[in-house]
């Protein structure tokens, strides 16, 4: 044990070093970086890394940074805070992208809550053909096919993609509010 110590000493980072390297990795990652990826690169255990991330998140929050560290699509990401969007838009000279139509959003919400779900099942709920919405959602890669249902006609089943989580700011599917909660809104 004592013999290996010097080596271990070198490999082991101090808390602040670990927090710093996590921050750097999260920053450069194109997509939200998962704890598993961090474990692989940093050779630290999950608990240590999660603690480092929490520490970093607290730092961002406490100093009221213009950036936030957030969990999204199963990983961690550094992003700007919503408060500054006007100034950012002015700098980038961008307009908010056109949103999905209500028809597409309805289709998407059925798929998100009922996945895997087939086109006829979606139609039953919406009461209307949904083919064009499904095409739009596939083109935007918000949904992906999830194989075929073993029933008459073997219809294709659909589910939401990782891009869906990212675009709607969700950690994972369990973060979607329960569909029963929407009953309250019915008068």
Partner 1 sequence: MEESKEQLVFDFDKVEPHIVRESSDQFNVQMGNFDGPLDLLLFLIKREEANIFDIPIAKITDEYLRYIRMMKSFDFAVAADFLVMAATLIEIKSKMLLPPESGIEGEEEVEDPRQELVDRLLEYQQFKNAAEMLWSRATVEQAVFTRGEIDSDENNMEVAATIFDLFEKFQIIIERHKEEIKMEIKREEMTLAQMISGMKTRLFREKVLNLMEFFGEIKTRNELVLAFISVLEIVRTESVRLTQKKTFGDIILRVNTDTAN
With binding defined as CB under 8 A, does residue 187 bind partner 1? Answer: yes
Q: Minimum CB separation from partner 1 for residue 11, in Å?
A: 25
Considering only the stretches 6-14, 22-30, 42-50, 51-59, report the one whose residues sit in contact with partner 1 under the rule CB under 8 A.
22-30
CB atoms within 10 A of CB 3: 6
Of residues 67-96, which lie at the interface with partner 1 (CB under 8 A)?
Answer: 77-82, 85, 88, 92, 96
Residue selected from 146, 155, 171, 173 as contacting partner 1 according to rule CB under 8 A: 146
Q: Shortest CA distance to 100 belongs to which of 47, 141, 136? A: 136
Residues 6 or more apart from 84 whose CB is under 8 A from it?
66
With binding defined as CB under 8 A, does residue 152 bind partner 1? Answer: no
Residue selected from 5, 7, 90, 150 as contacting partner 1 according to rule CB under 8 A: 150
* Residue with Cβ nearer partner 1 (12 or 135): 135
CB 28 within 8 A of CB 77: no
Of residues 97-116, which lie at the interface with partner 1 (CB under 8 A)?
Answer: 97-106, 108-110, 112-113, 116
Q: Cα separation of 127 and 129, whole Å?
A: 7
Kind and range of the H or E run holding 117: strand 117-118
Q: Shortest CA distance to 169 belongs to which of 90, 38, 48, 80? A: 80
Residue selected from 39, 144, 155, 173 as contacting partner 1 according to rule CB under 8 A: 144
Return the SS3 of 130. coil
With binding defined as CB under 8 A, does residue 118 bind partner 1? Answer: no
CB atoms within 10 A of CB 138: 14
Q: Residue 75: what are its φ and ψ, rounded to 5°? A: -145, -170
Q: Enumerate binding residues for partner 1 (CB under 8 A).
A: 27-31, 77-82, 85, 88, 92, 96-106, 108-110, 112-113, 116, 125-129, 132-133, 135-136, 138-139, 141, 144-148, 150, 154, 157, 161-163, 166-170, 177, 179-180, 182-183, 185-187
């Amino acid at each position: 044990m004592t013999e290996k110590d010097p080596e271990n000493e070198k490999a082991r980072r101090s808390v602040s070093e670990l927090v710093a390297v996590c921050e750097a990795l999260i920053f450069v990652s194109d997509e939200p970086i998962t704890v598993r990826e961090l474990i692989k690169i940093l050779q630290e255990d999950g608990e240590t890394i999660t603690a480092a991330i929490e520490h970093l998140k607290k730092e961002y929050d406490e100093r009221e940074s213009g950036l936030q560290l957030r969990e999204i699509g199963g990983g961690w990401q550094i992003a700007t805070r919503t408060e500054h969007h006007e100034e950012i838009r002015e700098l980038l000279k961008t307009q908010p992208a056109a949103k999905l139509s209500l028809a597409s959003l309805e289709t998407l919400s059925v798929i998100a809550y009922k996945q895997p779900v087939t086109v006829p099942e979606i139609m039953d709920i919406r009461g209307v053909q949904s083919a064009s919405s499904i095409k739009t959602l596939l083109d935007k890669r918000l949904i992906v096919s999830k194989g075929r249902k073993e029933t008459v006609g073997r219809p294709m089943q659909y589910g939401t993609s990782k891009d869906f989580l990212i675009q709607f700011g969700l950690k994972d599917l369990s973060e979607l509010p329960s569909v029963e909660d929407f009953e309250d809104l019915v008068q």
